[in-house]
Amino acid sequence: MNPLLDFSQKLFDILENLWRHKKTSRFIANLLILTFAGSLILIEMARQGWLPEPLNAQFPKSHYYAVNIALSMLLGIEILSLIFGLSKSVADSLGTQFEILSLIFLRQSFKEFIYFDEPLQWEQASKPVLYILSDAGGGLLIFLLLGIYYRIQHHRTITDDPQALKNFIASKKLVGLVLLVLFTTIAIDDGINLLFGKPVYDFFATFYTVLVFSDVLLVLISLRYSSSYQVVFRNSAFAVSTVLIRLALTAPPYYNVLLGLGSMVFAIGITYAYNLFETREQTEKQLSKEIEDVSLERHDKAK
């Protein structure tokens, strides 16, 4: 194996094992709980004017902002899971992207609450409630469609050559390491901007832009190991789904949900069509084997 691929695979495996360790999972869960509780306490202190200026003036005053912070952290964790799952399956990786999109829709529905007074009043919520229902409903529909998407997946290796398959997996792990570095860089840069009161950009929309390029790169890498039309088309079409997800993250209300659902339906259609090709290939292989067996049997009888 190429030394770079060998090194990247070993490093990726170490980081993945650390990420999937039970202690890491417990630490993340405790961190989320502490962040949520701490955010609620700090927001209440800001509402009472107990924080020093100018921190008190800049700190949010709505308790619902704590939900937004906790869900944003949860989304970041899901993206890390997506990166570490990249080496397993391209189809499952896309499924994780849709999982993240559904959580983003739920997060956006909660974000509407931060603009309301406490306690909630119908006069303030009468118009935004439609946005809340749209985002929450879109998240629910994607959640339901994901069940169909995962159920119809037929996982198969891209090549029957064990060494080539090993190199392909190592190549995906190298891409995963690059994504991990970019994720960390973007998160740190956005965090510094937030800390110093500078304008922050949409972290998740930015990272999904990176995912678009990584998906195209994986399509090109897969060509080294398989030039099968159906494999190339499926992987390329999955990259289109990522582009649609990226558009959904920046689209206005209602359109974002329509784009997200359209992308989900598109991915299901791709998978269904790919399965038809796979069934046809298996049938042709079976017929070829039967013909070969008949020929051998006739040859033996002739002797």
Per-domain residue ranges of the chain: 3-302
Work out the angle between the directed axes of helices 229-250 and 203-222 (0-180°, nearest 10). Answer: 170
* pLDDT score of 15: 94
Could you read off the pLDDT tens digit of each residue along the chain, which spans 303 residues?
688 899 999 999 999 999 999 999 999 999 999 999 999 999 989 888 888 877 777 788 888 888 888 988 999 999 999 999 888 888 899 999 999 999 999 888 887 777 776 666 666 666 678 888 999 999 999 999 999 999 998 877 788 888 888 999 999 999 999 999 999 999 999 888 877 777 777 888 899 999 999 999 998 998 888 878 888 899 899 999 999 999 999 899 899 999 999 999 999 999 999 988 876 655 555 555 545 555 555 655 555
* Residue 13 to residues 22, 84, 245, Cα–Cα distance (Å): 16, 9, 28
* pLDDT score of 297: 59
Rounded Cα distance, 138 and 132, in Å: 10
Rounded Cα distance, 84 and 81, in Å: 5
Question: pTM here?
Answer: 0.84
Q: How many C-alpha atoms does 79 have within 13 Å on its Cβ side?
A: 24
